[in-house]
Chains A and B, each alone.
Chain A
Amino acid sequence: MILINDRDKIDWFEGMTVRDILNKMEYSYIMITVTINDEVIIDEEYESYIVPDNADVKVIHLCHGG
């Protein structure tokens, strides 16, 4: 099981990547920051980073500043 943003839970599977999570959750925001178990994952790693079971995932939509 994967916990996303302390709120949503999705089933984990072997070889799950960050991209799989984003697709499953249907996130449409372009500008996001992702952390897996407190580690920042950059865009280039979305397809290759393998998410472990029971991971704590944060997907944060970045807004404009002021």
Chain B
Amino acid sequence: MTKNSIPTTVDFSKNVKKHEAEKSSENQNKKYLRYIFERNCPGTTKKLQQKTVAIAGLGGLGSNAAVALVRAGVGKLIIADFDKVELSNLNRQHYFQSDLGKKKTEALRDHLININPDIKLEVHNKKLEPPDIIKLFKNADVLIEAFDSADRKKWLIETWSKNFPQKPVISGNGLSGMGHTKDMKVIKAGQIYFCGDGASEMKMGLLSSRVAIVANMQANVCIELLLNGCYTQDT
């Protein structure tokens, strides 16, 4: 048969076999889900599966941090954003061509479930305001601050800190430009953990690698806090 020719007969038995194979594959998937985390650091998976992390903002920081946390085995995420996926997001955010025009919350939800179908997700498609932080995120063990603008970061950090003084908030702070990997650091100020270079400005532009470094620094600090209750300060 040539590439563009139309078959004159259809072999339905192929479809039946395919369906049976899919059903069998579904069962196999459930059986093998527990093996997703087989290569995790020993003793981490059960602890992480009991934990809840809230993520405010699902851009370059939030989407990449969410993926890292789900891959690590965190049991539940509360994710919030009001935006839709645009072409200009694809240079650094965890979205794809097929997501264009979709709500970020819904696109990311699909990607996270595609990694771990057992992940528990609470999804809020809205522009967050200070009262939302208390209402929507109160059950989270840790908050990942992943907003774009500095003024929104400020009220988010302060609202969280004043209302939940015992719970950590991990902020992405300074990720623009290129290179300067050694400038990336974590600064602890009470319950707040600032990840990034702490200096770069948006006008320098945003590159995938630097954004992903900071997002994964946030996830890394989060995982350590969830497992050990403390962060190992760099020396």
Residues of chain A at the chain B interface (Cβ within 8 Å):
31-33, 35, 38-40, 42, 58, 60-66
Give which listed residue, A31, A61, A66, contacts B61 with CB less than 8 A: A66
B158 touches A65 (CB 8 A): no
For the complex formed, measure the closest distance between the CB of B172 and the CB atoms of chain A, giving whole angstroms.
5
Do A63 and B59 contact each other (CB < 8 Å), given the known contacts A35-B190, A58-B187? no
B-chain residues with CB within 8 Å of residue A31 when the two chains form the complex: 150-151, 153-154
Interface residue? B201 (CB, 8 A): yes
The answer to whether A63 touches B198 (Cβ under 8 A) is yes
Stretch from B13-21, B69-77, B141-149 at the A interface: B141-149
**Is the beta-carbon distance between A40 and B153 smaller than 8 angstroms?**
no
13 contacts across the A-B interface (CB closer than 8 A): A33-B157, A35-B189, A42-B158, A60-B189, A62-B150, A63-B150, A63-B176, A63-B197, A63-B200, A65-B146, A65-B148, A65-B173, A66-B214
- B161 at interface by CB-CB < 8 Å: yes
Query: In whole angstroms, how far apart are the Cα atoms of A65 and B150 in the complex?
Result: 7
